[in-house]
Amino acid sequence: MNVYNKINNDIPHQAIRRLYKEDPLLHRSDYHRDRDRIMHSVAFRRLANKTQVFTSDKGDHYRNRLTHTLEVSQIARSLNLFIGGNEPLTEAISLSHDLGHPPFGHAGEDVLDNIMSDDQGFDHNIQTYRIITKIEKRYANFNGLNLTTDTLEGVLKHNGPIDIEVIKSKLFYSRLNEEEKLDLTSQPSLEAQIASISDDIAYNCHDLDDGIRAGFFTINDLKDISIINQILDKNTIKFGTMDNNIKVYEMIRSLINHLIHDVVDESARRIEKSNITKYTDIGRSKDTIVNFSEKLNVEIIKIKNFLYKNMYKNKNVLDNSEYGKIALERLFEFYSKNPNFLPDNWFNSYGVNNKSNNRLICDFIACMSDSFAIKQFNNL
């Protein structure tokens, strides 16, 4: 059952708006257009060679940033069937949520944030916004992808509303608040909340899969996590003796299904409790509507703590992160001293007078794939 039927089958949004006015299409909605533009962007293709946890040289079967994004989108569509958001808008937010990640994942983000500390720092959500509104160059009439403000707000707020003090302190947010009239302080839309929790489900479950594949831990090491132990016991009763690979796949599949069902039930409970009767009530709500139950949140924390200790802090992962950090630091230093090595088309498209502009250099490095960053590091 679609739990959102309890509110309204016809889901209204704010008057659909783009930063640049365009004629409507006959065969696609505005949100279909957003989704398709994201999928055709260069930034989306680059995700295929950006680190999720493992760099691409570690093997073809580990998740990269693109496969993770596609898995988030698939889970979001499944949730959308039951919770009832606008599916192409949910997809658009899901597919674009990681476009702003630099090479080497969070290690790369830490480096760029430190380098840019005197100029508002670096944040991958903000970088995503910069990519889809400025950096992508595909259209004659405007820079960026000219997505709807519903998609833009969903990208910026998919992790939650932006605190008013942050808006006041960061020029980027204050400009969006004042000039673009984006709604940054209310709760994220239903679709953004679905995309956010789908991200949680995807990376927690699939990092367990990749961690076992990498030999960092075994399936038996997970038995101290109650929900996983219960799933393993049920699958043993259901399937009997299994090949170890099949046992892992069935565990991950069962865990994803269990988390999706829990989110659907909890969302219905919160809709009822918060007396939400129309779409606009979601933005005014004190708490998120799409979430895990309290009991499952405890298990999610256990999974995150396990992954942090046994995977993200594994020496092999940390060694790769350190190499990535060194590469990006040296690249930034090189381009700062030798700005003429920046591609002319990159410089010209920005329309700035100073080629050694730090934000321009930061954007160029952040857009690199892992392999291109390594190639540039070795060459330069």
pLDDT at residue 15 is higher than 80: no
12 has pLDDT over 60: no
Helix (H, G, I), strand (E, B) or coil at 118: coil
Q: DSSP alpha helices (H): ranges in the chain? A: 30-39, 42-46, 65-83, 87-96, 105-115, 124-130, 149-157, 164-169, 171-175, 190-213, 226-239, 244-273, 280-284, 294-307, 315-337, 344-350, 358-366, 370-379
Q: What's the rounded Cα separation, in Å, for the pair 367 and 146? A: 19
What tens digit of pLDDT does each residue of 77-121 get?
Answer: 999 999 989 999 999 999 999 999 999 988 999 999 999 998 889
Q: Which of 3-12, 26-35, 50-59, 291-300 has the lowest mean pLDDT?
A: 3-12
User: Does position 212 have pLDDT exceeding 50, yes or no?
Assistant: yes
Per-residue pLDDT tens digits for 292-313: 999 999 999 999 999 999 999 9
Nearest-angstrom CA–CA distance, 135 and 178: 21
- Three-state secondary structure call for residue 18: strand
Check pLDDT > 50 for residue 1.
Answer: no
Residue 64's DSSP bridge partners are: 51
Domains defined for the chain, CATH in brackets: 3-101+115-300 (1.10.3210.10)
Task: Dump pLDDT digits (tens) for 19-46.
Answer: 888 888 888 899 999 999 999 999 999 9
Instruction: Quickly tell me which residue has 């003429």 as its tokens.
Output: 340
Q: What is the per-residue pLDDT across 342-372, written as a single tens digit (0 to 9) for each?
A: 887 776 666 555 555 889 999 999 999 999 9
Task: Please determine, for residue 10, whether its predicted confidence score (pLDDT) is greater than 50.
Answer: no
Checking if the pLDDT of 13 tops 60, the result is no
Look at 4 and 170; give whichever has higher pLDDT. 170
Choice among 162-171, 175-184, 323-332 with the minimum mean pLDDT:
175-184
What pLDDT, on the 0 to 100 scale, is given for residue 354?
58
Q: What Å distances lie between residue 354 and 243, 336, 357, 366, CA to CA? A: 60, 11, 6, 19
Tokens of 326: 């060194």
Is the separation of the CB atoms in 52 and 68 below 8 Å?
A: yes
Token digits of residue 58 = 């570690």
Contacts 24+ apart (CB under 8 A), 142-146: 142/19, 142/20, 143/349, 144/19, 145/34, 145/37, 145/38, 145/41, 146/18, 146/19, 146/20, 146/22, 146/37
